[in-house]
Structure 1
Amino acid sequence: MAYQQGSLLLERKSSLDSGNIMTDMEDRIVMTPKGKTARSTTIQVERRKMDAAEMQPSGGGGGGGGGGDGVHVGQGQHSGIVVNKQANTDVLEDTPAQLQLEFKVFLVNNQTQMHTKESRQLRFWFKSHVAEKEQTKSAQEFFKELVAPLEFPRDYVGFIKKIMKMMQHKYVMVSKIEIELRQLDETNKPPSRPSRPGAVLYTVGLSEPDPPVEDQKEALSEEKVLEMIESSYPNPITMQDLAKRSSASLEDVEVYISSLTEKGLIKPLAPGCFTRIVQNETDVQVVRQMPTMASSKQPTIAIITAQYCEKLAVDSMIENQQTFVRYTTVGESNVYTLGNIGAHRVVCTKLPQVGHDRSASIAAGSTTTRLLGTFQKVDYVFLVGLGGGVPHYTDYYKHVRLGDVVVSAPPEGQKFIYMYCDTARELQNGAYEFETKSWGPPNFNLQNLAHQLREQGEEGVAPWLKYYDESLSKLKEQEMDFSRPDPSTDKLYMGIGGSDVIEVSHPLPPDGATKVRDSARPVIHLGAIASGRSVVGNDQTRQDFASQLSVLAYDQEFDAVVESVYGNRKDHYVLLRGICDYKDGTRNKEWQPPAVLGAAAFMKAIICAMDPPGDD
């Protein structure tokens, strides 16, 4: 399809058309060109009151007529649509947009077969009575409807026309939209698709989109075998279990086990039973039960992690480490690393099972109870790990990005910091009703410290950045890479129906903004964290749930762990989630180590800001 530009032609019938009869001073949808350069075009579409004289056609039939020089007035099915063919800067308002969305499409030139990447930015203005939450929801719904795959306009004329029709008939709270079309670069290669099962990145101008990728089980590899052993740690895992979990043969598993053993990454604990070797870990004692400790050595802070990289990151923050491992082939093994952070004695553990299976969740709760029963002087509990951020597609300052840290804190007017969604039920009006469990500590002193630290960081005092750099240097000895990936790998997609997604740009800072984020450092966010398969697995429910309850991040199902902390009457607890993807923290492996290192560094900043423990 060749590129199509030019004035808007109003002849194709739309399913949204109606035969409205317009009366004097009713709303009209008016399109006006605003600016044009060699590679960009800016168009304004606004809702405007116009009198009858302005709407009188000067002649012509069919789809519309002229309303004077340079004005095209829609008639019949296009009644209420006005197109200014020439720019009129006198009537163009210049107040800042309230929201904006940007996405990219690929245009294909039929003559040259070249692909041109184009940015399309939508800037929204709303009527004065529309609340901020409604503005955000409306802008996102508008966008999803605009780019819906089966009805996506294949040319500029159809694209602008669809925006005007949507404003006229459905999105009446929108007062103005500004559209900027900007060509970026040209290539003879087709666009790459997002690495997400079943996803299609829509491309304008192709006869049909690429077929979706089948959701296949990940093939067995040395990396996958090591990942399963790390996930099980400190529990040893048998080759039979590895073969069963990966649907592979024992012979294939044996090949990778042999290679990992030779590399010094794993070791056998019994015939056919293996566990992870922690690189450069010193003073590790294998015990049947924890030895008795002097009161001064008892930890007052417990840190709970779930994944191997999470424990490595936390341990890198601990001085004077001593690790005890209690291995067992029946029940759950335990690993406890004790030491100091600032003036405080801490103990860090790793849950031996992790995942969305409820039996794993129950085991995690039991391990937490055992930890708090073993170290009875613990008063403060930190749950440190990975999470999936909730992107804010339109607000630069509320947007959660990869590598950021979300600290669980109560939303305004609420007392909960963590929620688990049992069920999500769609109502007749298209909204969702959620059944949830929620938890919040009786004391918010840890959250208050986090808030103070974040404010200090915005003023330039950010001790966690120092802790991050120090630990990054320590962790270079590990085979796992904790350095931040290139920011360009932080891709953001929006679900637009079914398995289809479209790449959208991260929101830009407002014009003249003085607070602009540094892509090399994490941003700290405070808000609720949630989980639950009934919401996490669906784009629409995940966004709706987050919007209704001010959720900033999702994680793997930690409700049993939080319930155990609550049941053991710990009044001070907090979750810190390093953001490694936009779902639940389990998919983007490249961002996992640096993301959790940011969470561990901010954890250390909170602990160092706490009052020293009192004398017994």
Structure 2
Amino acid sequence: MSSLQTRSHGDYTVGWICALPTEMAAAQGMLDEHHAVLPPRTQDNNNYAFGRIGDHNVVVACLPLGVMGTISAAIVANQMLSTFTRLRFGLMVGIGGGVPSEEHDIRLGDVVVSKPTGSYGGVIQYDFGKTVQEGKFTRMGSLNRPPDVLLTALANLEAKHMMEGHELAKYLREMMEKYPMNAQFTHPGIQYDSLYKAEYDHPSGQVTCEKCEGTQLVDREPRPSVDPFIHYGLIASGDQVMRHGATRNRLRGELKVLCFEMEAAGLMDCFPCLVIRGVCDYADSHKNKRWQRYAAATAAAYAKNLLNIIPGNQVTGTRTAIEATEENKSNSRDKHDDQNLHQHNHFSGNFNTSGGKAFYGGTYNSGGGPMSF
């Protein structure tokens, strides 16, 4: 440990958050160098790992063991920001449930990256809303999008991958060379990648899919290699595990999401960040843990690929995550005040045009008391 470099809290510009120890192990496996541990500030209960990727000093934190969900993620993020006040952005990196479709041929081990789409910032909190007439569920609110420094890097990286291919396999190989004991982070084999029809549920009481009916498998074209594909789009986040194929497909139709996970919705409005998920199952009743380590590794490899194309001075030259969050909150308050003003400055009543002469019978509310007409 004495040979490790020691940095100060203010030297760290990237916060990397994981939900599971498997994901944190993959994150540490991607570090180009490790740094000595720094003590957290008062009332920060996180336990950190420190290091460098490319030009960036990275601090890594994991959610408390067995305590997952959006609230836990928000607490970890806020405590991280209280200790590392010079962070510019965050990465939420780990595993998720893929949502395959004809348009998006998602396979186990692939990577899904949050991308702003339509009115959504990249992540949808699909279980937050209200139930209205006829039992219809209406989703409420929208979450912030990632900062521009990440979105411009995403555009560059996606274009680079189109022309040259990605470097995920290289980073995975380098991790295995540094940590040969991590054999469980390798590809499990395509024979274990089975997608069943959405309406076919896993047999009750069976741990594996050995007794699942082969006739219920979805027929898919073989890929030329086992290297992961990368998909960009909306990620659905909520506090419940998605493991039902029919519900997965229904929400896919409603929201056009590519992946389900359980933490990102707790981060987007308190920590400007990007969400990167390795697909470890298909969010259906056939899900198991066989692909979790490899999926965690592919997500971490993509995060490393992304950081390696962002110049260090571009990150240090941007506002801090705390400053960006405060500005977002201020803009949100201003928008809310404008909406309230619009609601208060309105007429109530009916125009009467009888006899060809128009007059208004009612009141005008200017916010300072009604005026009668």
Q: TM-score, normalised by structure 1?
A: 0.44
Pick from 348, 351, 354: which aligns with 2:63? 351
Closer, same or farther: CA 406–586 of 1 in aligned 2, 3 Å: farther
Q: 1:555 touches 1:584 (CA, 8 Å); kept in 2?
A: no
Mapped pair 1:371 → 2:80: yes
Q: Which residue of 2 aligns with 1:477?
A: 181
Q: For each residue in 1:171-225, what CA deviation from the matched residue of structure 2 results, as whole angstroms up to 9, or x when unmatched?
A: xxxxxxxxxxxxxxxxxxxxxxxxxxxxxxxxxxxxxxxxxxxxxxxxxxxxxxx
Q: 2:73 touches 2:263 (CA, 8 Å); kept in 1?
A: no
Structure 1 gaps of 5+ residues are: 1-281, 286-290, 510-516
Q: 2:27 & 2:115 partners in 1: Cα distance?
A: 21
Pick from 288, 305, 313: which aligns with 1:613? 313
Q: For each residue in 1:208-266, what CA deviation from the matched residue of structure 2 results, as whole angstroms up to 9, or x when unmatched?
A: xxxxxxxxxxxxxxxxxxxxxxxxxxxxxxxxxxxxxxxxxxxxxxxxxxxxxxxxxxx
Q: 1:353 touches 1:361 (CA, 8 Å); kept in 2?
A: no
Q: Which residue of 1 aligns with 2:95?
A: 386
Mapped pair 1:461 → 2:165: yes
Pick from 259, 263, 273: which aligns with 1:553? 259
Question: How far apart are residue 544 of structure 1 and its match?
Answer: 1.6
Pick from 123, 135, 142: which aligns with 1:418? 123
Question: How far apart are residue 454 of structure 1 and its match?
Answer: 3.0
Closer, same or farther: CA 382–535 of 1 in aligned 2, 3 Å: closer
Q: 1:408 touches 1:527 (CA, 8 Å); kept in 2?
A: yes
Question: How far apart are residue 605 of structure 1 and its match?
Answer: 1.0
Closer, same or farther: CA 446–498 of 1 in aligned 2, 3 Å: same
- Give the count of matched residue pairs: 304
Q: 1:326 touches 1:334 (CA, 8 Å); kept in 2?
A: no
- The SS at the match of 2:151 is helix
Question: How far apart are residue 507 of structure 1 and its match?
Answer: 3.1
Q: 1:536 touches 1:542 (CA, 8 Å); kept in 2?
A: yes
Q: 1:585 & 1:455 partners in 2: Cα distance?
A: 36
Q: 1:584 & 1:338 partners in 2: Cα distance?
A: 36
- The SS at the match of 2:179 is helix
Closer, same or farther: CA 585–381 of 1 in aligned 2, 3 Å: farther
Q: 2:241 touches 2:262 (CA, 8 Å); kept in 1?
A: no
Question: How far apart are residue 354 of structure 1 and its match?
Answer: 4.7
Q: 2:21 touches 2:62 (CA, 8 Å); kept in 1?
A: yes
State the one-letter code of the partner of 2:18.
Answer: T
Q: For each residue in 1:508-542, what CA deviation from the matched residue of structure 2 results, as whole angstroms up to 9, or x when unmatched?
A: 38xxxxxxx44410000001111235783543332
Q: Which residue of 1 aligns with 2:353?
A: none
- The SS at the match of 1:452 is helix
Q: 1:442 & 1:481 partners in 2: Cα distance?
A: 32
Question: How far apart are residue 362 of structure 1 and its match?
Answer: 2.8
- The SS at the match of 2:85 is coil
Closer, same or farther: CA 303–386 of 1 in aligned 2, 3 Å: same
Q: 1:584 & 1:378 partners in 2: Cα distance?
A: 37
Mapped pair 1:579 → 2:268: no
State the one-letter code of the partner of 2:37.
Answer: F
The 5-angstrom pairing of residues 471-550 of structure 1 reads 471-478=175-182, 481-496=184-199, 503-508=216-221, 517-532=223-238, 536-550=242-256
State the one-letter code of the partner of 1:307.
Answer: L
Question: Which fold has the larger relative contact order, with Cα–Cα distance below 8 Å and residues 6 or more apart in sequence?
Answer: 2
- The SS at the match of 1:495 is coil
State the one-letter code of the partner of 1:306.
Answer: A
- The SS at the match of 2:142 is strand
Q: CA RMSD in A?
A: 3.5
State the one-letter code of the partner of 1:598.
Answer: T
Q: 2:7 & 2:285 partners in 1: Cα distance?
A: 37
State the one-letter code of the partner of 2:231.
Answer: H
Q: For each residue in 1:542-563, what CA deviation from the matched residue of structure 2 results, as whole angstroms up to 9, or x when unmatched?
A: 2222222111000124322334
Question: How far apart are residue 487 of structure 1 and its match?
Answer: 0.3
State the one-letter code of the partner of 2:289.
Answer: K
Q: Which residue of 2 aligns with 1:293?
A: 8
Kindly name which structure, 1 or 2, has the bigger radius of gyration based on alpha carbons.
1
- The SS at the match of 1:562 is coil
Q: 1:423 touches 1:534 (CA, 8 Å); kept in 2?
A: no
Closer, same or farther: CA 346–365 of 1 in aligned 2, 3 Å: same
- The SS at the match of 2:270 is helix
- The SS at the match of 1:458 is helix
Closer, same or farther: CA 443–504 of 1 in aligned 2, 3 Å: same
The 5-angstrom pairing of residues 36-435 of structure 1 reads 293=8, 298-324=11-37, 333-355=45-67, 361-392=70-101, 395=102, 398-411=104-117, 413-420=118-125, 421-422=127-128, 433-435=137-139
Q: 1:416 touches 1:439 (CA, 8 Å); kept in 2?
A: yes
Closer, same or farther: CA 564–597 of 1 in aligned 2, 3 Å: same
Instruction: Between 584-593 and 600-609, report the one with greater CA deviation.
Output: 584-593
Q: 1:476 & 1:498 partners in 2: Cα distance?
A: 37
Q: Which residue of 1 aligns with 2:335?
A: none
Pick from 597, 604, 610: which aligns with 2:297? 597
State the one-letter code of the partner of 1:474.
Answer: K
Closer, same or farther: CA 455–442 of 1 in aligned 2, 3 Å: closer
Q: 1:305 & 1:535 partners in 2: Cα distance?
A: 17
Structure 2 gaps of 5+ residues are: 204-211, 318-373
Q: 2:255 & 2:46 partners in 1: Cα distance?
A: 35
Q: 2:109 touches 2:280 (CA, 8 Å); kept in 1?
A: yes
Q: Which residue of 1 aligns with 2:364?
A: none
Q: TM-score, normalised by structure 2?
A: 0.70
Q: 1:417 touches 1:438 (CA, 8 Å); kept in 2?
A: no
Closer, same or farther: CA 539–339 of 1 in aligned 2, 3 Å: same
State the one-letter code of the partner of 1:341.
Answer: I
Question: How far apart are residue 284 of structure 1 and its match?
Answer: 11
Q: Which residue of 2 aligns with 1:18?
A: none
Q: 1:354 touches 1:364 (CA, 8 Å); kept in 2?
A: no
Pick from 434, 437, 441: which aligns with 2:145? 441
Closer, same or farther: CA 376–306 of 1 in aligned 2, 3 Å: same
In percent, how many aligned pairs have the same letter?
28
Q: 2:97 touches 2:279 (CA, 8 Å); kept in 1?
A: yes
More strand by share: 1
The 5-angstrom pairing of residues 14-53 of structure 1 reads none
Q: 2:17 touches 2:61 (CA, 8 Å); kept in 1?
A: yes
Q: 2:240 & 2:175 partners in 1: Cα distance?
A: 37
Instruction: Between 302-311 and 418-427, report the one with greater CA deviation.
Output: 418-427
Question: How far apart are residue 319 of structure 1 and its match?
Answer: 2.4
